[in-house]
């Protein structure tokens, strides 16, 4: 007679397997500790905080990792070593040191880490941002010459203005009845509409979206799900935990990656059905499909990766910069007044802002540069990776070391900037410092060979959006709010960008003569 306490055979096997697994992890951990200790005795790494066995410095970085890195860099210096699990990492926190990585040894530090996201979402690094080697050189040339050339950027000037005016109309309609707008939602929708119109010739946000309703709903769902999934996957730093998928991030990535792939595959199919043309299309997907006929090496996965780069890296960063700018202007009415006075002096009050006006709006440019400094939306940029063993400032940097450029910390460093925590655009007036990649104090788009290829497009979009909205709309805070009530709390978590934690709420009224709006087709 069998005892009721007897364990089923499958449970015995399960416990045996679990015991073997634990033993293997312990052996692997012991070997790793021995290897790390051996390396520590021979390698001359930059200074850094004490490290735990196996996990290294992972626990030193919390949800606001950019704050933690800035704090640690103040203690350990302009070049700091961190061990993030099994990943050697350095944090660069001075313009002089940034120049060493971006310029002097640019070729050595031009790699990109290959993690779960690059494999799952970005077609195994077939995109531009995460690609390396010959493949990167091939697609960067296409992007620079065909997609973001001055001619291409100029072609979409009318489309950019049209989308901004559509958004301004909606903002003024709400303001007419005293309804505050949430700046994050309005600016995000505008930014995505500008990008998708450039990419596909369609828009997916707002009452005047030109995409099919089902496509708009799916696109918005994918964007929300992508943000909710996050980007931090523990296996990228602790590979022996790969089978656990802690937090379910990897599973969410797979689901979202499949969703984006289906969406983009449908786009390619639709555009391939269009009447063939000898001329390269005016929207980017048509241009890429035409190039593909001439360059068979340009596979569909690379085309979709490029499109995904521009969607996920382009739209939200632009809208975050715009929201931070409006936030600081609402907190500083005197600076807002300077911006609007310049607009009235350069543009006047009898017409709309034109892109040709931007070069003359020097104070607005200073505001944007000050936002890049004080509120960098990519606080570490996109991390680089060393392609070979090298030395920097006498320290050993092994091949495969991850490089974080501490733009957040540098932007708030009193050794670099006077009164760095104060929002003061005047510091950029008559200043040689700009955000184009040659001034290492201010590199929101990176520098060197990995500088963002869409830099000029992004800057034009930010400056034009702010100029047009501030010229058309008299913004004020909701009833009862004072400038000092506007917060600057950040959100970060496991994202790579730093948006505002709570959306800015503002009320808009027209600030120009009414005939200017009617002549521009703006009705509210």
pLDDT in tens, 261-278: 999 999 999 999 986 554
**pLDDT (0 to 100) of residue 17:** 41
Q: Which residues pair with 405 in a beta bridge?
A: 92
**pLDDT (0 to 100) of residue 51:** 96
pLDDT at 494 over 90: no
Is the model more confident about 140 or about 23? 140
User: Using 50, 70 and 90 to split pLDDT, how confident is the model at 282?
Assistant: confident
**pLDDT (0 to 100) of residue 28:** 58
pLDDT at 280 over 70: no
Return the sign of the alpha-carbon dihedral for residues 88, 55, 63, 116.
Answer: positive
- Distance, in Å, from the CA atom of 356 to the CA atom of 95, rounded to the nearest integer, reads 32
pLDDT at 228 over 80: no
Q: Which residues pair with 81 in a beta bridge?
A: 90
pLDDT at 190 over 50: yes
Q: What share of the chain is helix, strand, coil (3-state, %, to 5)?
A: 55, 10, 35
pLDDT at 25 over 60: no
Mean pLDDT value across residues 340-349: 98
| Cβ neighbours for 380, distance < 8 A, ≥ 6 positions apart | 66, 69, 404, 405, 406, 407, 408, 496
pLDDT at 496 over 90: no
Ranked by mean pLDDT, which of 143-157, 233-247, 357-371 comes out on top? 357-371
- Distance, in Å, from the CA atom of 97 to the CA atom of 93, rounded to the nearest integer, reads 7
pLDDT at 392 over 90: yes
Report yes or no: 444 and 370 within 8 Å, Cβ to Cβ.
no
Ranked by mean pLDDT, which of 10-14, 147-151, 299-303 comes out on top? 299-303
User: Using 50, 70 and 90 to split pLDDT, how confident is the model at 191?
Assistant: very high
pLDDT at 248 over 90: no
- Element (DSSP H or E) covering residue 15: helix 9-42
Q: Which residues pair with 52 in a beta bridge?
A: 56
User: Using 50, 70 and 90 to split pLDDT, how confident is the model at 8?
Assistant: very low
User: Using 50, 70 and 90 to split pLDDT, how confident is the model at 30?
Assistant: low
Which stretch of 103-117, 246-260, 505-519 has the lowest confidence by average pLDDT?
A: 246-260
3-state secondary structure of 298: coil
Tell me which residue of 242, 236, 278, 151 sits closest to 494, measured CA to CA. Answer: 236
| Cβ neighbours for 142, distance < 8 A, ≥ 6 positions apart | 288, 291, 295, 298, 306
Is the model more confident about 248 or about 290? 290
Return mean pLDDT, the chain. 90
Report yes or no: 426 and 366 within 8 Å, Cβ to Cβ.
yes
How do strand 181-182 and strand 87-92 relate by DSSP bridges?
unpaired
- Distance, in Å, from the CA atom of 46 to the CA atom of 40, rounded to the nearest integer, reads 11
Q: What letter does residue 276 receive in the DSSP assignment? A: P
3-state secondary structure of 168: helix
Q: Which spans in 131-207 are helix H?
A: 133-142, 150-155, 157-176, 183-200
- Distance, in Å, from the CA atom of 383 to the CA atom of 82, rounded to the nearest integer, reads 14
Return the sign of the alpha-carbon dihedral for residues 19, 25, 28, 33.
Answer: negative
Report yes or no: 486 and 504 within 8 Å, Cβ to Cβ.
yes
Is the model more confident about 259 or about 152? 259
Strand ordering across the sheet containing 402-405: 79-84, 87-92, 402-405, 384-385
pLDDT at 170 over 50: yes
Which stretch of 76-80, 86-90, 449-453, 491-495 has the lowest confidence by average pLDDT?
A: 491-495
pLDDT at 313 over 50: yes
pLDDT in tens, 135-159: 999 999 999 988 888 988 999 999 9
User: Using 50, 70 and 90 to split pLDDT, how confident is the model at 243?
Assistant: confident
pLDDT at 184 over 70: yes
Mean pLDDT value across residues 249-272: 95
Q: What Å distances lie between residue 27 and 30, 56, 85, CA to CA?
A: 5, 18, 16
452 annotated as a binding-site residue: yes
**pLDDT (0 to 100) of residue 31:** 54
**pLDDT (0 to 100) of residue 227:** 80
**pLDDT (0 to 100) of residue 146:** 83
pLDDT at 507 over 70: yes
Return the sign of the alpha-carbon dihedral for residues 409, 414, 416, 417.
Answer: positive
Is the model more confident about 8 or about 442? 442
User: Using 50, 70 and 90 to split pLDDT, how confident is the model at 15?
Assistant: very low
Its pTM stands at 0.90
How do strand 87-92 and strand 79-84 relate by DSSP bridges?
antiparallel
Tell me which residue of 327, 366, 371 sits closest to 483, measured CA to CA. Answer: 327
pLDDT at 220 over 70: yes
């Amino acid at each position: 007679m069998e005892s009721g306490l007897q364990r089923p055979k499958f449970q015995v096997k399960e416990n045996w397997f679990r015991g073997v697994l634990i033993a293997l992890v312990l052996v692997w951990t012991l070997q790793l500790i021995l290897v790390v200790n051996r390396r520590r005795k021979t390698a001359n790494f930059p200074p850094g905080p004490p490290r735990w066995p196996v996990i290294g410095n992972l626990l030193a970085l919390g949800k606001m990792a950019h704050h933690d890195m800035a704090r640690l860099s103040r203690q350990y210096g302009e070049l700091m070593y961190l061990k993030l699990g099994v990943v050697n990492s350095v944090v660069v926190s001075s313009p002089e040191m940034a120049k060493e990585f971006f310029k002097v040894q640019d070729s050595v530090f031009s790699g990109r880490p290959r993690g779960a996201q690059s494999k799952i979402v970005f077609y195994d690094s077939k995109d531009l941002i995460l690609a390396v080697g010959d493949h990167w050189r091939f697609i960067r040339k296409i992007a620079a010459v065909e997609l973001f050339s001055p001619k291409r950027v100029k072609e979409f000037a009318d489309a950019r203005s049209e989308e901004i005016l559509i958004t301004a109309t909606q903002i003024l309609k709400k303001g007419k009845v005293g309804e505050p707008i949430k700046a994050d939602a309005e600016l995000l929708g505008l930014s995505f509409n500008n990008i998708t119109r450039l990419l596909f010739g369609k828009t997916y946000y707002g009452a005047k979206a030109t995409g099919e309703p089902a496509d708009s709903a799916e696109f918005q769902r994918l964007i929300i799900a992508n943000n909710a999934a996050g980007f931090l996957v523990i296996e990228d730093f602790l590979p022996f935990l790969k089978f656990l998928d802690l937090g379910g991030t990897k599973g969410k990535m797979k689901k979202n990656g499949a969703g984006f792939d289906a969406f983009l595959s449908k786009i390619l199919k639709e555009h391939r059905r269009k009447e063939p043309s000898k001329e390269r299309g005016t929207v980017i997907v048509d241009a890429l499909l035409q190039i593909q006929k001439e360059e068979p090496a340009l596979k569909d996965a690379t085309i979709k990766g490029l499109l995904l780069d521009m969607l996920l890296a382009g739209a939200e960063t632009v809208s975050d910069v715009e929201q931070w700018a409006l936030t600081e202007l609402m907190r500083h009415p005197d600076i807002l007044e300077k911006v609007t006075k310049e607009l009235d002096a350069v543009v006047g009050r009898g017409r709309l802002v034109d892109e040709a006006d931007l070069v003359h709006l020097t104070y607005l440019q200073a505001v944007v540069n000050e936002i890049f400094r004080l509120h960098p939306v990519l606080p570490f940029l996109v991390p680089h990776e060393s392609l070979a063993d090298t030395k920097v400032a006498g320290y050993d940097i092994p091949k495969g070391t991850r490089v974080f450029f501490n733009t957040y910390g540098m932007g708030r460093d009193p050794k670099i900037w006077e009164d760095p925590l104060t929002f003061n655009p005047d510091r950029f007036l008559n200043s040689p410092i700009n955000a184009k990649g040659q001034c290492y104090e201010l590199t929101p788009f990176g520098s060197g060979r990995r500088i963002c290829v869409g830099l000029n497009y992004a800057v034009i979009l930010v400056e034009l959006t702010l100029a047009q909205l501030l010229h058309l709309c008299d913004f004020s805070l909701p009833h009862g709010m004072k400038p000092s009530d506007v917060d600057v709390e950040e959100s970060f978590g496991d994202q790579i960008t730093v948006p505002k934690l709570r959306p800015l709420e503002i009320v808009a009224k027209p600030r120009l003569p009414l005939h200017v709006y009617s002549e521009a087709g703006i009705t509210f």
